[in-house]
Chains A and B, each alone.
Chain A
Amino acid sequence: MMGVLLSVIFLNNFGVRIAIPLAIGCAFGIGWVLERGILRPLIGQPIISALLMTLAVAYLLDGVATIFWGTKIVPYPQWYPEQSFPFMAIRVSSGMVWTILAATGIFVALAFFYRRSMMGKAMRATAESHQVSQSLGIKVTRVFSLCWIMAAVIAFIMAFFFGVHVGAFRYLSEWGFRAIPAVLIGGLDSILGALVGGLLVGVLEVIATAYLGAYVGSMFPFIILLIVIIVRPHGFFGQAEIVRV
C-alpha cells in the first residue's frame, strides 16, 4: 500500500526514470528503519510478538495513509506505453507482459540468491536456527536487516505494476493477507512453492468464482489453506519440520 501510494507521488512529480530508483531507495530506508527500530528489540521473543508488531506497523501506516489520502481511489499514472496485441487466441495487453516479466525476473534472481550466494545461504541457515547460525559465524542481525530491506524493495517494485492494474487506495494493505494462502500452500521455505502456490491459488480462485459464484470464490483460497494445513502442514514443496524429543 505504501509502495503504491508513494509511487503515485513520485511518478506524478518526477517521471519514471527518477521515480523507480527513488522508490527503491525509499523502500531500502523503510525496510532498514523497520528492522532496526522496531523488530530488533523483539529478537528472542515469541512469534506472536513479531506477528503483532508487523500488524501494528501495518495499521500505523494505514492510519497515516488515511489522514493524507483518505479512503478514495487515487488515479494511478500510466507509466509504460499501453497497447494490446494478439497472442494465440487471446489479446494480451503489454501491461500484463511487463508484469509477468518483472515477476519472473524477481523469481529467478531470488532463486539464484538463495541457492548460490553466500548471503542467501546464510539467510536460509538463520531461518533454520538462530542460535546455531550465530555460533557458526553468521551475523544474524545483518541477515534480518537484509531480509526486511529485500522484502520492502520487492514489494515496492511490484507496487509499480500493481498500481496500474488495481489503482491506488488504502485498503491495499488487506491484499497482503491474500498472499498468505499462496505462500503456505506452496511451502514457506520454497521459492518454487511460492510460484506454484501463487499460480494454483489464483487459478482456483478464478475457477471457483466462475463456477460457484463470487462468494465462494473470494473465500476459496482460505478453504484450500485450511485443507492444506490439516493434510500437509508444511505445504507442497516445503520441508517438514522434525520434532526431536
Chain B
Amino acid sequence: MRPSGIMDVNYRQSAAMLRTRSQWLAVGILLAFLAVAGRVFPSEIVDVMNMMFILIVAAHGLNILTGYCGQVSVGHAAFKGVGAYSAAMLIVRLGWNHWVALPVAALAAGGAGVLFGLPAFRVGGFYLAMSTLAAQFILTTVFIFAMPGIVGGISGITVPFPAIGDFSFRIPENQYYLFMPMCVVMTIVARNIARSRMGRAFVAVRDNEVAAEIMGVNPFGYKLRAFFIGCLFAGVAGWMRVVYDGCVRPDIYPLMASIWLLGTIIIGGMGTTIGPILGVILVRALNEMVLMLSPLIGGFFPIEIAIRMGAGLGLIAFAVVVIVFLIFQPRGLAHLWEVLGARMRHWPFRYEPR
C-alpha cells in the first residue's frame, strides 16, 4: 500500500516495478549480496541457500495457482516430479543436453498440470483440490511402478551434472551461480504475470467466479492457464532439483512435500510475490535450526527417543508454525512486511495496521 498522495504521473512510472530510488538501491544491494554470497559463505550454508532457491521457484508456481487464482493444489510436488522425471529421462535415456531439456521438462510439467486441471471445467474449490490430490497419488505411483526400465523404479535415475566449459555444476558453490540467477529471473517473471492482464483475471476468478464470468473473464480458461503456468514453474523447479541431487527418486516428491509447499505459501502470504520468498526462507531456516537443536534437546531424553527427535521435531515445528500463522496472521509474513514498511514511513507517528 502506498501512502496517500503518492501518485504516478506518467505511464512509465505507473508500469515500473521499482518506483523510487531507494527501492532501486535496496534491490541493488540485495543483488550484490546474492552475487558474492556463493563465494563468501561456507559450503553448507550455500547448499541450504541452493535448496531455498529451488523451493522459491516451486512456491512461486503454487502461489500463482493457489494464491492468485484460488485453486488449491495438493499435488504440486508431483508436478515438480513430472518436470524432474522428464528432464532426467531426456538427459539420460535420449542423451539430450541439460539446457535443451529444461524448457521441455517445464512444458511437460505444465501439460500434466493442464491434464489434471481439466476437472476445473465442472468444479472448483474443494473438488478441484481433491483432483490434484488424485494427481499426487497417481503420479507418484507412476514414478515408482511404470516401466522401471525407463522411468527408473524405486531407485530412480542417476543424472550427470551439467557443465559450461570447465565450470561444472557439481559442488554447491558452483550450483549457486546456476540457481541464484534462475530464481531471480523466475521471481521477476512471477511478479510480471501477477500484475499483467492475466494476473488480474486470476484474482477476479479467485474472488468471485460468477462475477468474473459476467465481466467477460472465462473462468475455465483462466483456471487452466493458472494450472499451466503454476506447473511450468514446478517443472523448472524439478529440473533444478535434478541438477541439485544429480538423480531423481520417487521419494523426493511425496504428498508431504506438496503440503509443505502449501504451508510455506500460507506462512509467507498468499497472493503476493514476496510471500513465497519470505515463507521459504522462514520455514527452511526453521528446519535447519531444528536439525541443529534436536541433538541438544535429545540429550534430555532416553536414547531410543533421541534418535528419532530430528524427524519428529521437524514435523512438529512446521505444523505449529502453520497453525500459529493460520490463527493469528492468516495474511502471512508478506502482511507483516507491509506493516513494517508502513511503520517505518510513518515513524515517529503511530501506524494502525488495517
Contact = CB atoms under 8 A, between A and B. Distances in A.
Contacts of B144: 215
A49 B137 contact: no
Interface string A22-60: 000000000000000010011001111101110111011
Given A38-B327, A184-B127, A229 B122 contact: yes
A42 B118 contact: no
Nearest to B258: A55
A47 B137 contact: no
Task: Identify whether the interface residues of B are mostly helix, strand, loop, or mixed.
Answer: helix
A62 interface: yes
Interface stretch (A3-11, A66-74, A131-139, A140-148): A66-74
Interface in A98-137: none
Given A64-B312, A68-B305, A222-B137, A56 B326 contact: yes
B259 A55 contact: yes
A233 B133 contact: no
B130 A225 contact: yes
A218 B210 CA distance: 37
Contacts of B119: 226, 229-230, 233
Given A51-B126, A52-B262, A66-B311, A59 B138 contact: no
B255 interface: yes
Contacts of B137: 177, 219, 222
Interface range for B? 35 or more
A42 B313 CA distance: 25
B308 interface: yes
Given A229-B130, A230-B121, A67 B319 contact: no
A67 B130 contact: no
A225 B322 contact: no
Nearest to B316: A63
Q: Is the interface of A mostly helix, strand, loop or mixed?
A: helix
Interface in B301-354: 304-305, 308-309, 311-316, 318-320, 322-323, 326-327, 330
Nearest to B318: A59
B72 interface: yes
Contacts of A38: 323, 327
Highest count of chain B CB atoms <10 Å: which of A55, A67, A184, A214: A67
Contacts of B146: 215
B133 A177 contact: yes
B129 A59 contact: no
Contacts of A89: none
A177 B140 CA distance: 14
Interface in A205-235: 214-215, 218-219, 222-223, 225-226, 229-230, 233
Contacts of A68: 305
Which residue, A42, A51, A174, has most C-beta atoms of chain B within 10 A? A51
The 7 A-B residue pairs with the shortest CB-CB distance in the complex, in nearest-first order? A63-B315, A215-B145, A67-B312, A60-B319, A63-B316, A66-B312, A222-B134
15 contacts: A38-B327, A47-B126, A48-B129, A49-B326, A53-B322, A56-B323, A60-B323, A62-B315, A70-B304, A70-B308, A222-B133, A223-B134, A226-B119, A229-B123, A230-B119
Interface of B: 66, 70, 72, 116, 118-119, 121-123, 125-131, 133-134, 137-138, 141-142, 144-146, 210, 214, 255-256, 259, 262-263, 266, 304-305, 308-309, 311-316, 318-320, 322-323, 326-327, 330
